[in-house]
A and B are shown apart, each in its own frame.
Chain A
Amino acid sequence: MTVTKEPAKPEGPEGPGEPGLPPEKTDERLVQRSLPARLMRRPELGAVVGAIALFVFFSLVADSFLRASSLSTVLYFSSTIGIMAVPVALLMIGGEFDLSTGVMVTSSALVSSMFSYQMTANIWVGVAVSLLVTLAIGFFNGFMLTRTKLPSFIITLGTFLMLTGLNLGVTKLISGTVSTKSISDMEGFSSAREVFASTLTLGSVDIQITVVWWLVLIALATWILLRTRAGNWIFAVGGGVDAARAVGVPVARTKIGLYMGVAFAAWISGQHLLFNYDVVQSGEGVGNELIYIAAAVIGGCLLTGGYGSAIGAAVGAFIFGMSNKGIVYAQWNPDWFKFFLGAMLLLATLLNAWIRKRAEATR
């Protein structure tokens, strides 16, 4: 294909197409769609509407919700979920699940901490080893999936259980307790903390660095999804794997890449966990995988694959953050949080299904 940027005229090996139809008409037809009609087709629309409604709701019922400090807290909590929800959304668009994400975050933190401590190495060595190990776990998930052709539910359930056991077992074996030793006095800790768990102050607002990581991941994922060949392949392997294979899409490579993307985010998340608290509890993370999936689904990802967006998943994570903290600011019993979330998940899914039906009917 040609490498010309933004060609002014239609071009190609075959030259101009139908002589009777000037190219201007073509372009005019393409921009004919009204803005609302185009918005209707976005997968994240339901989540955005829900997020706005929720925001207005908590602004009204909780006086302290609109304070800068509260919003900063909401953003921070959203980002800790969102960092994982974004790559999980990509994976779901690619038609697969990952149930091992929650404990993979803990594994990543444990590896980093224990390697540095046991080897008395610079913290950054542990961080690098952790990256390799976590990516290897992601590769394992993807490789097993594409090799065995078993459902990803089974494969990653296995990984989930194995990692849960390994986290506890290995930590107890090495440090004698269920948590890691403190590494705050070790070389490189402060710089690593800067990268993974610092707070930036913008005027009077404190922004946690995880929010920055979150935004970078959203931008990156959206770019990959909408503007690269890999993004096209992700939609294709999720929406019709046989068709994708028939036209030459590298299905196995795409899926393994998606699992490694999730692992990469788990590494960031895990390093934040470690450097934020200095010690890691080895039993942590169980159950979080479902929260990531729920955020992606609220954000408009289809469980069956082939449809969804990274921005939607981020908005889904923001909805989580708002409801979790909003309930506290409204001075309700936080026990209601999970019920609230469950109801929201159902509502969002129904809304998304309805919108998609309408979007596909009115073309």
Chain B
Amino acid sequence: MTNETEANESGPDAKGPNAKGPVETGPDETGPTATGPTATEPGDGEPRDGEPKDSEPLVSLSDVSKFYGNIRALEEVSLQVHPGEITCVLGDNGAGKSTLIKIISGLHQHDAGSFRIQGEETRLGSPREALDRGIATVYQDLAVVPLMPVWRNFFLGSEPSVGRGPLKRLDVQQMRRTTHRELLRMGIDLRDVDQPIGTLSGGERQSVAIARAIHFGAKVLVLDEPTAALGVKQSGVVLKYVAAARDAGLGVVLITHNPHHAYLVGDRFVLLKRGAMAASYEKEGLELEELVRQMAGGSELEELSHELER
């Protein structure tokens, strides 16, 4: 709290548009809120690590909206996912994170705006279609079947077979070996891939799901709150694997409400507030404090602290 007293000085003039809710969107509105040079236009991607500025994003959303009946779940949200980069989507409960994830992973379709996969305008019909286009989603609690062995979970839904006709069977040896190898590559050294996956820690389970997505050729990895249910240490483990996925050249969408986690690994940050895009940042020049302040409620929190002051 005490750290933010200085920021309070510049607060009141910015709180107007934000407090009004999801009426106004776009980075220009939040410009004054974001202190100085940190905020940039979302489309205006700053090149990173010498990448050419015009490199084609794997996934690009611009002004995407989604309505459930007369409810605006998502309004004019834009984000880009580049290979080897992590795009963080931050927001409080009900900010529209889940809706966004559902559009990217093919569970829902957007109602307005454009959704491009490698430059091609797309409307995904099903999660399977998203998978085929290289977008794999790891849900927070839907990742695995707890009672099944690790190797069966790893290949679930895409099991390799050998033999023909009635003798067609699972390639068990290869499945076990591949599982062990792929997990090792992520830095998990399992003693026994036959143990039920429910006996692994929460972080390890997330990591198995991530390793699985990478193995099956995902180009874009969508992670739904991978650290939400985890302790500090386990979160660190998972973030390491997220970074490993990034280093393997994948584009990662990290959904979270924890600005500390996001700041650690993120390259781009999209802030959602009540279904609208409140801000969009690039890593360069962005201070953790700013992200925390925005997530903690930003100007609304400042207003609250004024009211509570005596």
- Which chain A residues have a beta carbon within 8 Å of chain B's beta carbons? 1-7, 10-12, 14, 16-18, 21, 23, 26-27, 29-30, 32-33, 41, 223, 227-229, 231-232, 235-236, 239-240, 242-244, 246-249, 302, 306-307, 360, 363
Contacts and interface: CB of A to CB of B under 8 A. Distances in A.
A288 to B, nearest CB: 28
Contacts of B127: 246, 248
A220 B146 CA distance: 26
B161 A17 contact: no
B181 A227 contact: no
15 contacts: A7-B173, A10-B181, A16-B181, A17-B182, A26-B180, A30-B176, A32-B192, A41-B194, A243-B144, A244-B145, A246-B143, A248-B127, A249-B156, A306-B145, A363-B191
Contacts of A6: 173
A240 B145 CA distance: 5
A17 B155 contact: no
B178 A248 contact: no
Given A306-B147, A306-B148, A248 B131 contact: yes
Of A16, A26, A302, which is in contact with the most chain B CB atoms at under 10 Å from its CB? A26
Contact of B160 (A2, A18, A243, A247): A2
Contacts, number: 120
Chain B interface, DSSP helix/strand/loop, else mixed: mixed
Contacts of B172: 227
Given A239-B146, A306-B145, A232 B174 contact: no
B162 A229 contact: no
B47 interface: no
A106 to B, nearest CB: 31
A242 B142 contact: yes
Contacts of A3: 162
Nearest to A240: B145
A246 B184 contact: no
Contacts of A227: 169-170, 172
Interface string B131-174: 10000010100111111100010011111111000001111111
Interface of B: 127-128, 131, 137, 139, 142-148, 152, 155-162, 168-174, 176-178, 180-182, 184-185, 191-196, 198-199, 215
Contact of A243 (B143, B174, B181): B143
A235 B148 contact: yes
B167 to A, nearest CB: 10
B196 A26 contact: no
B152 A235 contact: yes
Contact of A1 (B131, B174, B180): B174
Contacts of B180: 26, 30
A228 B170 CA distance: 5
A123 B304 CA distance: 85
Contacts of B157: 236, 244, 247-249
A246 B139 contact: yes
B181 A26 contact: yes
Nearest to A248: B157
Contacts of B193: 30
A229 B177 contact: no
A160 B273 CA distance: 53
B148 A17 contact: no
A307 B185 contact: no
Contacts of A32: 191-192
Of A27, A242, A363, which is in contact with the most chain B CB atoms at under 10 Å from its CB? A363
Contact of A248 (B128, B142, B160, B174): B128
A33 to B, nearest CB: 6
B182 A248 contact: no
Contacts of A10: 177-178, 181
B161 A7 contact: no
A143 B269 CA distance: 46
A14 B249 CA distance: 14
Given A17-B185, A30-B192, A306-B148, A229 B159 contact: yes
Contact of A29 (B139, B156, B191, B195): B191
A7 B152 CA distance: 19
Given A227-B170, A229-B170, A360-B196, A235 B159 contact: no
Contacts of B146: 239-240, 306
Of A10, A32, A240, A244, which is in contact with the most chain B CB atoms at under 10 Å from its CB? A240
Contacts of B159: 229, 232
B147 A307 contact: yes
Contacts of B169: 223, 227-228
A18 B152 contact: no
A4 B171 CA distance: 9
Contacts of A363: 191-192, 195, 199
Contact of B184 (A21, A223, A360): A21
Given A5-B162, A18-B181, A223-B169, 13 more contacts: A14-B215, A17-B182, A32-B192, A33-B194, A228-B161, A236-B145, A236-B148, A243-B145, A246-B137, A246-B142, A248-B158, A306-B145, A363-B199
B176 A236 contact: no
Contacts of B182: 17
A232 B143 contact: no
A187 B142 CA distance: 57
A249 B131 CA distance: 13
Contacts of B170: 227-229, 231-232
Contacts of B215: 14
Contacts of A23: 177
B174 A2 contact: yes
B155 A232 contact: yes
